[in-house]
Amino acid sequence: MRTAIFPGSFDPFTVGHKSIVERGCRLFDKVIVAVGINSNKRCRRSVEQRLKDIRDVFRDNPKVEVASYSGLTVEFARSTGAGFILRGVREVKDFEYERNLADVNSSISDIETVFLCAEPELSFISSSMVRELESFGFDVSRFIAR
Ligand code: ADP
């Protein structure tokens, strides 16, 4: 069984994230959305809230599981039996960051990283942009996955 984890902060889980998971489901038998707990990052939503929201999005998709983890992403991947890390790439800046992360992870484990390019119409959407709009009281519902 081919399993991938899709790690991230998902604060919040956007339509861009959802698209990567759905496309990942065509490549893998199982995709585990992995909410990383990072004490250095101040998040707007609690981990519990993010887990609940993401589970709601995929309630009818039996290929998707949702979990939280702390520590090294490759160790979490290994603990679930996943051989792959799924990541989305929006632009060149993402690519440089993601390639470096993938190189580090492949040097310390046998986990392969698979990149999917963002859908063009979703490539401007980021969690940080959504949080910023929210902070001004703007209705961000169009960007949040449901
Ligand atoms: P992190 O905090 O690890 O950067 P994010 O929650 O911001 O994680 O994003 C998780 C993954 O989703 C990353 O690989 C990121 O590049 C990807 N991603 C974020 N927004 C989009 C989008 N609009 N389209 C495609 N991929 C995206």
Task: Kindly report, residue by residue over 79-120, the tens digit of the pLDDT.
Answer: 999 999 999 999 999 999 999 999 999 999 999 999 999 999
Do 17 and 8 form a contact (C-beta atoms < 8 A)?
yes
pLDDT class of 40 with cuts at 50, 70, 90: confident
Which atom of ligand 1 is closest in space to residue 117's alpha carbon? 25
Q: Is the peptide bond before 120 cis (omega within 30 degrees of 0)?
A: no
90 is catalytic: yes
52 is catalytic: no
Residue in 27, 39, 11, 140 with CA at minimum distance from that of residue 86: 27
90/118 Cα distance (integer angstroms): 5
CB neighbour class for 10 (10 Å; exposed up to 12, middle 13-18, buried from 19)? buried
Residue 34, pLDDT score:
98
Q: Whose CA is nearest to atom 9 of ligand 1?
A: 8
Mean pLDDT is lowest, of 39-43, 57-61, 120-124, for: 39-43
Centre of ligand 1 to C-alpha 17, Å, is: 6
Which atom of ligand 1 is closest in space to residue 11's alpha carbon? 6
pLDDT class of 136 with cuts at 50, 70, 90: very high
Residue 130, pLDDT score:
97
Question: Is a pLDDT exceeding 90 seen at residue 4?
Answer: yes
